[in-house]
Structure 1
Amino acid sequence: MERRVFGVETEFGITHRGVAVDGAPRPGLAPDETARYLFRPVVEWGRSSNVFIPNGSRLYLDVGSHPEYATAECSDIEELIAADRAGERIMDDLARRAEEAMAADGIDGTIYLLKNNVDSQGNSYGSHENYLIPRTTHFRRLSTVLLPFLVTRQILCGAGHLVTEQEEAGRELGPHYAFSQRADHMWEGVSSATTRARPIINTRDEPHADASAHRRLHVIVGDSNMSETTQLLRYGTTDLVLRMIESGVPLGDYELQNPIRAIREISHDLTGTATVLTRDGEEMTAVDIQAGLLDRARRFVSEEGAHHGHLEQVLQLWERTLQAVASGDHSNIDTEIDWAIKKRLIDEVAARGSLALDDPRLGQIDMAYHDIRPERGLHHVLVRKGRAATLLGQEQIDQAVLLPPATTRAALRGHFLSTARAFGAGHSVDWVHHKLVDRPLEAIMLKDPFETAAERVETLLDTLGDRRAVVRELSAEERLDQPVPPALSERYLVTGGTVPPPPVI
């Protein structure tokens, strides 16, 4: 099967809480001021709040002072999940450093970074997926099949959301639990806009690759996931559906009359029995649509073979999740699927304290589940207690913090960036372009996402001087057996030293 390149962009919620004085809470800094503290080391390091870092990823402040981390290009789902988790580690490191800087300025308090999609005021921020697809893929067929899949995918990989009375929007359901945080904030099925219209599929044609061969599918409907197994299902199912579309496999007619109404109705019906109308007037549930696609995916894999080692795990978890929704018994997935993991926790706390769903303490649990700080975030607590499954070892995340994926051009980007910094040379990189400031006419474009070695990159870097001499000055551990270490004395973005040890679990 054809190779795939994936990436995910994650926007984080940010808030600062002041230290309570005489029992009275002191207001924290505003989000924009907090974000400036957060990104102060980034600006010092890269002279910008929008930088590429040695692991090949991009770190920047997005609209609304949302810290954002975009993974490097990955060619494997497990690699993608590791790169995303590395982003959490780097963001948490920045938050700890910002707290220290604030304290030095006489501002005591705590920064909270949340990997979720909605704040207490109802504002939404995203988790955007990117899939490199062939230019020859017929876009009408792509959107016709993919939209129903994405509208109903929330029952598989939604983050879960405790809906308050204020968010009810006339549904008359009262406070309740929904599959998705993002569903209520989508306004179009397909559009070139991102913030104004918030479409499920964004059509802006920006492939960051050879445009004659590729286009970038930009999916902005997904919930941010804390669970690695939920991420596996999210990216694994989407990749499979895309492969079937690209192969011309008949997938049935699930085109919806009103995708935006459907995504909302499905999100707010945890029983999975809400029906939506297809273009032909047929009533179907989200489980019906997903089950039909799962059945076709199993036949496709049987005929074409597996293309990654976790494929059977994806198919089995896909099936078990549909069974759990259809039966109402979530016990078979409540350590693997975000919305079910969090719902179990909220239900237990509510039962233990006889709390109504509108009790603000449950709302705090909903938020705290997404706190990325390992010793504090509730998902991390559940992992340590064996109540939330993992996929990766800590060493994989450690490596993803430091090193770019080895199977995509991100390896060249990290190599170029680290080498230029080692020599103190002015440089500029983005997804495609690589330039030394004093040699602008020799800028290099890497349009092939799978290019991992390029003589023209080495030739340009050779103009900086004897790289072997730079390497000899470093210890064997720092060299990591690489021609040039991933970030030399600045092992990753801001530490100025070694990466901090992983948290004790």
Structure 2
Amino acid sequence: MTVRRVMGIETEYGVLQPGRPQANPMLLSSQVVTTYRALAARADGARGKARWDYDDEDPLQDARGFHLQRAAAHPSLLTDDPTRPAPSGPVPRDPAGAASFQEVARPTHEDYDDPSAANVILTNGARLYVDHAHPEYSSPEVTNPTDAVCWDVAGERIMLAASRELGAVPGAEVALYKNNVDGKGASYGTHENYLVDRAVPFATLVELLTPFLVTRQVFTGSGRVGLGSVGQEPGFQLSQRADYMEAEVGLETTLRRPIVNTRDEPHADRQRWRRLHLIIGDANLFEVATYLKLGTTSLVLFVVEQLDALSAVEGASGASLRAELAALRLHDPVSDVQKVSRDLDLTAPLLLADGRRLTALEVQRVYADVARRAAEHLGTLDDETRAVLDRWDSVLSRLGTDPASCAREVEWVAKLRLLDRLRRRDHLDWDHPRLAAMDLQWSDVRPERSIYHRLLAAGAAERLVDERAVSQAVHHAPEDTRAYFRGEVMARFGDEVSAASWDSVIFDVAGAPSLQRVPMLDPLRGTRAHIGALLEASKDAGALLTGLSGTSR
């Protein structure tokens, strides 16, 4: 059993311009991206302006076995058209949260850069671009949760660098926030991606994963001041995304947001893999929360992938594991997302489909126990898998007995403790604007303004990766996935790259009769072990392509 699989995180950052609340977020986001492009060119010597290759993208292919007609799709789904930026979806029209909605129009009140230009393929293998009027950092592919944390934090440093550079120009200051809500009804995403064996039926993934996703917010939630889509009710809750989940399963990402997203866009060999695209998670600054979010989800996916093998090898024991997970099906999972998020005591019972009632912690305990028993059945554990299992067990146990003991690991616990101290000291109700301001300040990417960074400096938040590793990750890709090839090519031969995507790089070599595409459908090829020596020996892209032609025979 192993926690290792290809995974990654996409984070849309909140953006505003101090003193200009009506500033166009598309323009601000474009400025962030293009500013970092210039910074990267200076820092890395990276050349060229490779475009993003949309040819292999199809956001309308549904994992349930059908393809949504383009004419029937909401514009927010059309993320494969670089000439027309997708709007963010609907926003509640009135603060009472009425059912009527007003569609967000494409920006017309201010000129903004061509969004196809606001796109950078970074030397660390990541993509930085404008998505739904937010600057988005899509991390490179990694193979384990510790690396996921490292390259996720590298994204924070990249956003900070762009913010600093813009702030040096009078009138161009931009504030960036690693959060998920703007307090006015809009939510922007932190999406997780996991490569999963396509042999597992999608319906099985939905059935066995949904209760886990609904309840994992007890340790992955980043905390939020306000209840309801526009914070219309006073209070505090575990998750920033919970109030925006409206469906159990669906293709959309910015309206009718589902617990399990059905976009079937693997960015890999479709015959072997699917990419499970999850949009329910919060943006986390606490590294342990990110680590557990990716690590526990990967473990549950491994168990689901291995259920048939477990049944074959262990007989009744293996079948029992499947039955235990299937028995966790919730009666109303969409409603339970909000119920868990509002359960600060972690004691609210959730109604299961079979009539039993379990708390979110109890549901998580079943998943953790099943994962542990599956590991025992399947044999040797690698160190990282054992570490995730042990941390998962420890956090669940302490949340059930002494939540305050998790304050260095679980983000919502730390945030609630700090806010409660302020409330008691100054006699503030939950709807006081100082609390909302503190919630926002928590996620500011600027260390001198960020409450999270103050906690970090005081040793009140646990680190899993050191800053030297993060600094390295800002400029260099993971060495054990195809991100290594993508990043190194951009660093060495960027002026000879016409376009790139997750699963290909297109070269434009002087003197060549045509563009040359290098496919990368296997995310575990193109690693340093596989291609490093050839890259070192290639003086230009032409030599690299010649060498690749030789190694592919």
User: Is this a same-fold pair by TM over 0.5?
Assistant: yes
Distance in 1 between the 2:539 and 2:506 partners? Answer: 13
Q: Match for 1:61: what amino acid? A: V
> For the Cα contact (< 8 Å) 1:257–1:279, is it kept in 2?
yes
Q: 2:143 aligns with which of 56, 75, 78?
A: 75
Give the alignment's Cα RMSD to 1 decimal: 2.5
Q: Is 1:9 matched with 2:78?
A: no
1:36-435 residue pairs with structure 2 within 5 A?
A: 36-42=30-36, 46=49, 48-63=117-132, 65-101=133-169, 103=170, 107=171, 110-163=173-226, 167=230, 175-248=234-307, 249=318, 250-251=321-322, 252=324, 253-305=327-379, 307-327=381-401, 329-421=402-494, 424-435=495-506
- Listed as ranges, the gaps of 5+ residues in structure 1 are 19-25, 468-505
Larger RCO, structure (CA 8 Å, separation 6 or more) = 2
Distance in 1 between the 2:506 and 2:534 partners? Answer: 10
- Listed as ranges, the gaps of 5+ residues in structure 2 are 42-48, 51-116, 308-317, 545-553
Count of residues in correspondence between the two structures: 447
> For the Cα contact (< 8 Å) 1:188–1:199, is it kept in 2?
yes
> For the Cα contact (< 8 Å) 1:9–1:127, is it kept in 2?
yes
Aligned residue number for residue 518 of structure 2: 444
Further displaced range: 42-51 or 9-18 = 42-51
Q: Match for 1:428: what amino acid? A: A
> For the Cα contact (< 8 Å) 1:10–1:68, is it kept in 2?
yes
Q: Match for 1:35: what amino acid? A: S
Distance in 2 between the 1:368 and 1:414 partners? Answer: 33
Tell me by how many angstroms 1:120 deviates.
1.8
TM-score, with length taken from structure 2: 0.76
Distance in 2 between the 1:395 and 1:201 partners? Answer: 36
Q: Match for 1:91: what amino acid? A: M
Tell me by how many angstroms 1:200 deviates.
1.5
Q: Match for 1:195: what amino acid? A: T
TM-score, with length taken from structure 1: 0.83
> For the Cα contact (< 8 Å) 1:442–1:460, is it kept in 2?
no
Distance in 2 between the 1:225 and 1:177 partners? Answer: 17
> For the Cα contact (< 8 Å) 2:331–2:353, is it kept in 1?
yes
Kindly tell me: are residues 140 and 50 of structure 1, through their superposed partners in 2, closer, same or farther at Cα, counting changes over 3 Å?
same
> For the Cα contact (< 8 Å) 1:227–1:336, is it kept in 2?
yes
Tell me by how many angstroms 1:464 deviates.
4.3
Tell me by how many angstroms 1:260 deviates.
0.6
Q: Percent identity?
A: 36
Distance in 1 between the 2:138 and 2:542 partners? Answer: 32
- 2:346 counterpart SS class: coil
Distance in 1 between the 2:425 and 2:260 partners? Answer: 41
